[in-house]
Structure 1
Amino acid sequence: MDDTPTDPQGGRHALVVVYPVVNANPRYRRVDILGRRVGKAHSLRDVAEFCRRAGLEDIDVEADDRVQWIGGGPRQWQE
């Protein structure tokens, strides 16, 4: 059985959502996993660690379509 969440129209959506860079000191990107806020990522390594802690260690955070990058891709850490 496929546990990938679906939206009300039956389409798939990401398990991991990485939001735009927040201009704070230091800058960060909010990360949600399975609809729950899991923390502030300061680097790609942080996103991977959040995934690992959530049991999603098989996800390639840079290339997997289960990761949605909003406001820039995995290399965007400056506003």
Structure 2
Amino acid sequence: MPDRARIVVHPPTSTGGRRVVAHIHAEDSVLGTAYTLADVAEFLRRIGVDDPDAVLAAGDPLMEWRGGGPEVWAASPGEAPGAGP
């Protein structure tokens, strides 16, 4: 895993899923849309994280959760379609 990497999991959209973006050396790379925590773990595996389950379970500083933590997968009522940064 490259130094200074950060993974941002964006808020859930009204249509479902959370966009997952890797920020590595000041560059952004969209990893995909996660619908479950297992999807996020798979994205982490694909970018070379040795033990993604440990990173997710430990609240690792590598992870930034926006719009709710790893337990939130549905948009809040009244949220606009596609809302989120």
- What band does the TM-score fall into relative to the shorter chain? 0.7 to 0.9
Per-residue deviation, residues 24-68 of structure 1 (Å, max 9, x unmatched): 1xx100000132101000000000100000001334124111100
Q: Which structure carries more relative contact order (alpha carbon 8 Å, separation 6+)?
A: 2
1:4 Cα deviation (Å)?
1.2
What number of residue pairs does the alignment pair up? 67
Unpaired stretches in structure 1, ≥5 consecutive residues: 6-14
Query: Which of 61, 64, 74 is the aligned partner of 2:56?
Result: 61
**Is residue 31 of structure 1 aligned with residue 20 of structure 2?**
yes
Query: One-letter code of the match for 1:44?
Result: L
The structure carrying a bigger helix percent of its residues is 2
Extract structure 1 runs of 4+ deviating beyond 2 A. Answer: none
**Unmatched tracts of structure 2, length 5 or more:** 76-85
Query: Does residue 17 of structure 1 match 2:13?
Result: no
Per the alignment, residue 66 of structure 2 pairs with: 70
Show the counterpart of 1:4. Answer: 4
Structure 1 distance, partners of 2:40, 2:19, is: 9
Which TM-score applies when normalising by structure 1?
0.76
User: Counterpart of 1:37 in structure 2: which amino acid?
Assistant: V
Q: CA RMSD in A?
A: 1.6
